[in-house]
Amino acid sequence: DAVFHAVSDVPRDKYLAGLLSADFDEDTCQSRYQSTIYRKPSPHKPSAYLIQTLRKYEDRHRRCAPHTAPYNKTLPFLNPGPAPEKETECKYVLWTPAYGLGNRILSLTSAFLYALLTDRVVLINRGSDMTSLFCEPFPDTTWLLPPDFPISDFAPYRRPHPLRYGNLLRNKNISTESDDGRPPPSFVYFHLDHDYDTEDMHFFCEPDQAILRKVPWLFLRSNMYIVPSFFLNQEFEPKLGRMFPEKEAVFHHLSRYLFHPTNEVWGMVTRYYKSYMAMARERLGIQIRVFNSKDAPFDVVSKQVINCTLQEGLLPKLDANARAGDTATDPTKTKSVLLTSLYSGYFDKIKDMYWEHPAVGGVVLSMHQPTHEERQQTDKESHDLKAWAEINLLSLADVLVTSAWSTFGYTGQGLGGITPWILLLPKKGEMPEPTCVRDISMEPCFLTPPSYVCREKRNGDNGKVVPFVTHCTDAGRGLKLV
C-alpha cells in the first residue's frame, strides 16, 4: 500500500453523499460509482434540497422522456404557432453541442440548471460523439433526442433566425407587457453564444422568464457558463440559495452529477492514473492553453509557467548549492506532475530543467503529458476521448495550475473541487505580472456576461449587483460565483 498511495479498491461514499442516484447498473458506467476510489473526498456536501430537487428531476425526466404520452402530446408544438393557453404537462429545453469540450460541458450544465429552476426536461442533440464520452446521467431513461425527433439539423438556428428570442423582441413578436394578451410562440430559440446582443440578454430577466413559462419548447444554444446570471434573477435566487448554500460549489456538484466518463474513457483515466500519478506523494496538474501564439509566444509562456510554479512553491526550486554529482534524493518526497497541453515543448523544457539540475530538498519529480495533439480537432472521436480523459486526470490532482479563459481548465478544477492558481493571459507577447494568482473560487467564469442589468433596465455592471456574483480573476469583464 506504500506504492499506491491514494488508490484503495473500495469506493468511499460512492453516491457522493446522496448526489448520485443509487438506481444505476454499475457495470454499464463504472466511473459513476468508482470515482471516489481515485478522487479525494469532497469537503463540499450537496444540500438536502439539491438532492431532493435532483430526485424530483429524475422522476420528471422519466415521465416526460421521448415517446412517453406527455412527450407525444407536446411534439405538435414544435410546429410554428402560439403556445397553448394552459401549460403543457411536460416542457423541454433542447441543447446542442457547440465549440470545444469544456465549452460544451459548461453550457450543458447551465441548461440543466435552468431546467431544474423552471421544471423542464433537458434533451440533447448527441452530435458526433456525446454518447462515446458521457454515460446517461438519469436512471432508467435517456437524455438523448431520439433519431425520429422532428428537428435533426440545429445549424439553421443562428443569429438571423426569426424565432431567436432577441429577434422576437425586436420585431415585437413577443412581449413582456402583462396587458399584451398575445401568447408567446410555442418554440423559442435562445442565442446565448458569446456574440449575443442586448435583446438576447433579456433572457435572464424576470419579466422575460415569466412569459417563457408557457413556452413548451426552448432551444438553448450557448458556449458559456451562464449560471452566475441565474443568481441575479430575483425569481430564481431563493431556490438557488437553498440548492447551493455554498455558492462556489454549484458547478462542482452539477458536473459530478451529470458528467460520468464512459467505460472507454474511464479505462484511459484509471490506467494513466495508476501508471503515472498514484505512486507519488503529491500530484500537481498544470494545464497550458494558448489561444493566440502572437500574444502568448512559446518562450513567454514557458517562462511564465516556471516562474509561477517556482514562486508559489508548487514545483521545487533548483538547488544552486548542490555540487555536480550530488545524488542525494529523498524517496519520501515524490511528486508527479501532470501536464496537459496541445503542444509538447513546455513539457520538455520543465522536464529537462529537473534532469539537468537537482531539486532543493531532494524532491524526486516525474513529469507526464498524456498527449500533444498539436491542434484542436473537436468532433473527431479519438481526439475528444483523450481530451475528456485529460480533463478527468487534471481533476485527480491535489493542486492545479490552469490557464486564464480556458473552459477546459475550468472543467477540470470544478470536477476536482480544486481552487487553482491561474496563469494570467499574456498580451502582445508580454509576460503578465504577476504571472499567476490564486483564484477566488473553483467556479468557472461566465466569460462574456450580459451588459444589460435587469434590475436597472439598462446597460451596466452585473458584477456590482450582489456580493456573491463578482468579476473573475482571469477575465476582468467575466462574472463568477464566490
Report if residue 371 touches ligand GDP, rule: CB under 6 A.
yes
Query: Amino acid identity, residue 60?
Result: R
Report if residue 390 touches ligand GDP, rule: CB under 6 A.
yes
Which lies closer to ligand GDP via its Cβ, residue 96 or residue 340? 340
Number of DSSP helices (H) and strands (E) in the chain, helices first = 16, 14
Distance CA 13, CA 17 (A): 6
H-state helical runs in 26-164? 30-38, 48-64, 69-74, 101-117, 130-133
The alpha carbon of 323 is separated from its chain's Cα centroid by a whole number of angstroms, namely 47
Report if residue 342 touches ligand GDP, rule: CB under 6 A.
yes
Report if residue 226 touches ligand GDP, rule: CB under 6 A.
no
**Using the rule CB under 6 A, which residue among 15, 33, 49, 99 binds ligand GDP?**
99
Which lies closer to ligand GDP via its Cβ, residue 185 or residue 414? 414
The alpha carbon of 467 is separated from its chain's Cα centroid by a whole number of angstroms, namely 23
User: C-beta of 343: minimal distance to ligand GDP in Å?
Assistant: 9
Site for ligand GDP in 434-453 (CB under 6 A): none
What three-state secondary structure class fits 258? helix
Report if residue 341 touches ligand GDP, rule: CB under 6 A.
yes
Report if residue 408 touches ligand GDP, rule: CB under 6 A.
yes
Which lies closer to ligand GDP via its Cβ, residue 100 or residue 432? 100
Which span sits near ligand GDP by CB under 6 A: 22-30, 204-212, 238-246, 334-342?
334-342
Distance CA 99, CA 222 (A): 9
User: C-beta of 304: minimal distance to ligand GDP in Å?
Assistant: 16
CA distances from 252 to 43, 148, 286, 441 (A): 11, 34, 19, 11
Report if residue 404 touches ligand GDP, rule: CB under 6 A.
no
Pairing of strands 421-423, 436-438: antiparallel
Report if residue 406 touches ligand GDP, rule: CB under 6 A.
yes
Which lies closer to ligand GDP via its Cβ, residue 184 or residue 432? 432
Site for ligand GDP in 100-129 (CB under 6 A): 100-103
User: C-beta of 133: minimal distance to ligand GDP in Å?
Assistant: 10
Q: Nearest to residue 170, comparing CAs of 193, 209, 200?
A: 200
Q: What share of the chain is helix, strand, coil (3-state, %, to 5)?
A: 35, 15, 50
Encode 270-338 in three state secondary structure: HHHHHHHCCCCCEEEEEEECCCCCCCCCHHHHHHHHHHHHHHCCCCCCECCCCCCCCCCCCCCCEEEEE
Which lies closer to ligand GDP via its Cβ, residue 121 or residue 475? 475
User: C-beta of 287: minimal distance to ligand GDP in Å?
Assistant: 6
- The residues of the shown chain that bind ligand GDP, judged by CB under 6 A, are 99-103, 289, 340-342, 371, 373, 376, 378, 383, 386-387, 390, 406-408
